Chain A
Amino acid sequence: MTKLWNAQLCTALGRGLRLQSTAAAYFPSEPASPVLKTTIPGPKSSERLAELGKVFDNRAAYFAANYYNSIGNYIADVDGNQYLDVYAQIASIALGYNNPEILKTAKSDQMANALANRPALACFPSSDYQQILEDGILAAAPKGMSKVWTALSGSDANETAFKAAFIYHAAKKRGNNTFSPKELESVMQNLVPGASDAAILSFEKGFHGRLFGSLSTTRSKPIHKLDIPAFNWPKAPFPSLKYPLDQFVTENKKEEERCLAEFEKVIQQWSTQIAAIIIEPIQSEGGDNHASPSFFQSLRDLTLKYDILMIVDEVQTGVGASGKFWAHEHWNLTTPPDMVTFSKKFQAAGFYFALPELQPSLPFRQFNTWCGDPSKALIARTVYQEISKYNLVENAATTGAYLYGKLESLSGEYSSIFNLRGQSTGTFIAWDMSSSAKRDMFLIESRKLGLNIGGCGDVSVRLRPTLVFEEKHADVLVDIAEEALKRLG
């Protein structure tokens, strides 16, 4: 059966290059709309989740998925329901479920080899690793960046970038490679000067992960942070813009100026060195908060002025969804950021950089057992190649503009949705609802209608579809959203 299905896909793919719809080319049997067979969650989902709960924390689970039956933009559950998925594994599925090209990569001998013989990459790199990087992760590098360090998740990517920043600044201060006896001794007691008292500055409502270093920079919600020891690191305000943007031009400009002034004050007053700032192009978990290109350009200028590194966290915004491959390309910075971190849609994680000094001058400082994962680098390569082949960044931009237009009309009709944002950031769109309770009800109601959709921040709904999300899917999304709004009253 799968053979036949594959054969159909191949012919369809051949045509696909000429067809309008990439989704139709990849997924000839993608449903036209959601398929609902049971109440949500269905009985089999409930049973499977209960079973899982005995050995694994299952309380965040919405349903038990059937990934064999999921296709394109539709995710299936074990009860035979198929949802249009605009959450896509928390923004981490790039090309749709059971994408035939990713399947091909997954079935390749190269993949089987990478899985069965996982190397300690830094010590015994495989002969093909460089080529895999160059054809994939590095081919996609943001302008001005030519090197990469690989990691395993968004948190891990950010923390390795922090390490690079701390080591960079310490080396610069020290001026050579000789550690003083005092440093060598104190570091083993976790005390200065061998251990650093430098800091990473992050922004209010920023989200950068949940390990101890990254969690110290995460400022989204108390529940993400409570009870975990944290570094005393500084934070600065992120602009709270008013919508629609064209009606609040002066107010928003003032707000950004206020934040920049506050930022500069924090830098001037902080008592220890600030090695780097970390910032998301669009604060995602924290509520899809946007700021203007000029805000980011000013931040860049200030980081250069104060000799602070700039890390742009593209874990959620990266890899096409914003209508640019990297969302920070929307800013046209005069000097590129120092590091750009990635994960999620790329499946592989890590950070890009340009300055050679961001690689510590001694080996085995930025190091661990695996230093990445070639099996994920193989997937990243295919993701990149398919995005290029089908212009999927362009697709995100045009589909996003279409979807934004429809949502704008909807928000005109329903006063319960407001602060629509993401007008020119592809499908990276969000809006607010009047309360957390209302927002949560909207998400549940939508799921019952066959739309798998996620929230962020306290009152926001965010769209994080795949890159093969097209106008026809946008129509289904808007119809269901409208129906859910009606039901909420």
Chain B
Amino acid sequence: MSVPEVTPAEVYYPNEPAAPSVQTAEIPGPKTKKALEELAEVFDARCAYFVADYDKSVGNYIADVDGNVFLDVYAQIASIALGYNNPALIEAAKSDRMISALVQRPALGNFPSAEFADILKDILKVAPKGQTKLWSGLSGADANELAFKAVFMNYQAKKRGYNTSFTTEEETSVMENAIPGSPELAIMSFERAFHGRLFATASVTRSKPIHKLDMPSFHWPKAEFPSYKYPLEDNEAANKAEDERCLKIVEELYKTWHCPIAGLIVEPIQSEGGDNHGSTAFFQGLRDITLKYNSLLIMDEVQTGVAATGEMWAHERFNLSPPADLVTFSKKFQSAGYFYHDPELTPNLPYRQFNTWCGDPTKMIIAGAIAKEVVEKDLAKKISVVGDYLYAALAELSKKYPTEILNLRGKDRACFIAWDSPSPAARNAFLVNMKKNGVNIGGCAETGIRLRPTLTFGKKHADILIQAIDKTLGEN
């Protein structure tokens, strides 16, 4: 008789609840409501679903101040890698290295600590295939904008020669924000893409108007991202034609855009924009076109990275050759930045890619600890197995609710799974009712429902999730 395997969650969280526990009739409950009223006096609290009690949150369960305990498949917008109060992370948080990095946060570019190289190496151990260096930032948007800067500097360096000095005209015009010192160059992105909300990242974000309205924006090109028909196995020809149509648009933009397109940024799976998938052929096509037009390829792995799809980095599935030029990360890694390998993506002079902190060692220490756990506990593989189980169960459930669970997607992508509701109103009601049934779950785009659990999400959690979905849809 085989002994049931001990799951990562059981190893880390002997006290993880066996099931959600909902104490209040309404979510948010009365204590959350009161706390939010107070918070709102000083901080924008209108996006808050509830006020959390992180002391009481364990593993895959998040607690709120009303005593409710939810199974969490949203996990701080896909940014909790191992679960709440993970003992390995608590240990990292209390380590001497961490304490020192907190108490005297270094300006890393100027005064790196002696152990900084070691901290970095712990991250680089899990770098995407082909990537050997990194530059660190503080958030997803920050990581992407730093990557854009590297791309633009590289583009101009290729034109003028890596070690060629700037002209006087460049040096004077740049102080007026004018060409040629501030060149007219673009980054291409895709319809429905999401890459952040600072000025350059908001320019490449194309998810929803509300993410972009009223902000000055760079006039940069937007291509189309494939919209596949599901189930994939029944629509191969149509989806292949869709890939070709989209690739043609990309190439057309390279030929016709009014200024050079220095780089292209794309998510392996468009997440905020609705969990839209692209095929390996599509991404390989992008690699070929970017090479042909001398443009760099940036893979935005902010949401898909760190084993969420069952590979450490989702784009590694695409077997791009040569590898992507830059790969950005944040969220589950806590630390942010970009990986790269071409030495000439390091600008020719110091202080060009620079700022006060140049990253945050406290977050890098956490990233290193997460990387170690993922590797040692083989979490990418384990979450894949759970994902297969969960996907199959959802496929079954979609037969029971054929008008409620549409376009189920994310097969073979671990628990990076999503589906559509029939309408935005139905989707929003579903998210609210799921909380009442003990599950904290998130949406994406207008009608999408996305699963973004931690990497320690197991079959028993999947069972609870499926039951809650069944119950919620059954209550309709």
User: Which residues of A come within 8 Å of B, CB atoms?
Assistant: 44, 48-49, 51-52, 54-68, 70, 75, 78, 87, 89-90, 92-93, 97-99, 102-103, 105-107, 111-120, 122-127, 129-130, 133-134, 138, 146-150, 152-156, 159, 162-163, 166-167, 169-171, 179, 183-184, 187-191, 194-199, 209-213, 216, 219, 222-233, 235, 343-344, 347, 359, 362-370, 375, 379
**A52-B117, A152-B138 given. 13 additional CB < 8 A pairs?**
A54-B133, A64-B112, A67-B100, A93-B105, A116-B93, A119-B76, A156-B139, A184-B213, A195-B217, A196-B216, A212-B200, A231-B177, A364-B210
- Docked-complex contact B42 and A130, CB < 8 angstroms: yes
Whole-angstrom CA separation of A364 from B135 in the bound complex: 29
- Closest residue of B by beta carbon distance from A210: B355
- Docked-complex contact B42 and A187, CB < 8 angstroms: no
Whole-angstrom CA separation of A229 from B182 in the bound complex: 5
- Closest residue of B by beta carbon distance from A199: B216
Question: Which residues of A have CB within 8 Å of B356?
Answer: 89-90, 92, 153-154, 343-344
- Closest residue of B by beta carbon distance from A227: B156
Question: Which residues of B have CB within 8 Å of A170?
Answer: 213-214
With contacts A146-B42, A226-B170, A363-B46 taken as known, whether A166 is within 8 angstroms of B111 at the C-beta atoms is no
- Closest residue of A by beta carbon distance from B138: A152
- Docked-complex contact A123 and B216, CB < 8 angstroms: no
Interface residues of B in 168-188 (CB under 8 A from A): 170-172, 174-178, 181-186
Task: Enumerate the 10 nearest inter-chain pairs by beta-carbon distance, A residue then B residue, closest first.
Answer: A213-B199, A59-B350, A363-B46, A212-B200, A170-B214, A195-B217, A230-B177, A230-B182, A115-B93, A112-B93
- Proximity bits, B58-98, A CB within 8 Å = 1, else 0: 00001001000000000011011000111001101110101
Whole-angstrom CA separation of A232 from B108 in the bound complex: 31
- Docked-complex contact A57 and B105, CB < 8 angstroms: no
- Docked-complex contact A60 and B350, CB < 8 angstroms: yes
Interface residues of B in 141-175 (CB under 8 A from A): 141-142, 145, 148-149, 152-153, 155-157, 166, 170-172, 174-175
Question: Which residues of B have CB within 8 Å of A156?
Answer: 138-139, 142, 198
- Docked-complex contact B210 and A362, CB < 8 angstroms: yes
- Docked-complex contact B89 and A120, CB < 8 angstroms: no
Interface residues of B in 314-367 (CB under 8 A from A): 330-331, 334, 346-347, 349-357, 362, 366
Interface-side segment among B48-56, B240-248, B458-466: B48-56
Whole-angstrom CA separation of A378 from B334 in the bound complex: 18
The reply to whether the CB of B45 lies closer than 8 angstroms to some CB of chain A is yes
- Docked-complex contact B214 and A167, CB < 8 angstroms: yes
- Docked-complex contact B111 and A75, CB < 8 angstroms: yes
Question: Which residues of B have CB within 8 Å of A125?
Answer: 36, 39, 43, 45, 48, 51-52
Our pick among B52, B219, B220, B357 for the contact of A153 (Cβ within 8 Å) is B357
The reply to whether the CB of B396 lies closer than 8 angstroms to some CB of chain A is no
Question: Which residues of A have CB within 8 Å of B98?
Answer: 106, 115
22 cross-chain CB contacts under 8 A: A48-B114, A55-B120, A55-B133, A60-B351, A106-B99, A113-B55, A115-B362, A125-B39, A166-B214, A171-B214, A187-B217, A190-B218, A196-B217, A211-B199, A212-B200, A219-B175, A227-B157, A230-B174, A344-B356, A363-B46, A364-B47, A369-B77
Whole-angstrom CA separation of A98 from B79 in the bound complex: 30
Question: Which residues of A have CB within 8 Å of B351?
Answer: 60, 223-224
- Docked-complex contact A228 and B153, CB < 8 angstroms: yes
Question: Which residues of A have CB within 8 Å of B183?
Answer: 227, 229
B458 to chain A, nearest CB (A): 19
The reply to whether the CB of B413 lies closer than 8 angstroms to some CB of chain A is no
- Docked-complex contact B52 and A226, CB < 8 angstroms: no
Whole-angstrom CA separation of A189 from B222 in the bound complex: 8
Our pick among A126, A152, A219 for the contact of B52 (Cβ within 8 Å) is A126
- Proximity bits, B17-50, A CB within 8 Å = 1, else 0: 0000000000000000001101101111111111
Question: Which residues of B have CB within 8 Å of A229?
Answer: 152, 182-186, 200, 218
- Docked-complex contact B199 and A212, CB < 8 angstroms: yes
Whole-angstrom CA separation of A87 from B356 in the bound complex: 12
Our pick among A58, A169, A190, A219 for the contact of B219 (Cβ within 8 Å) is A190
The reply to whether the CB of B57 lies closer than 8 angstroms to some CB of chain A is yes
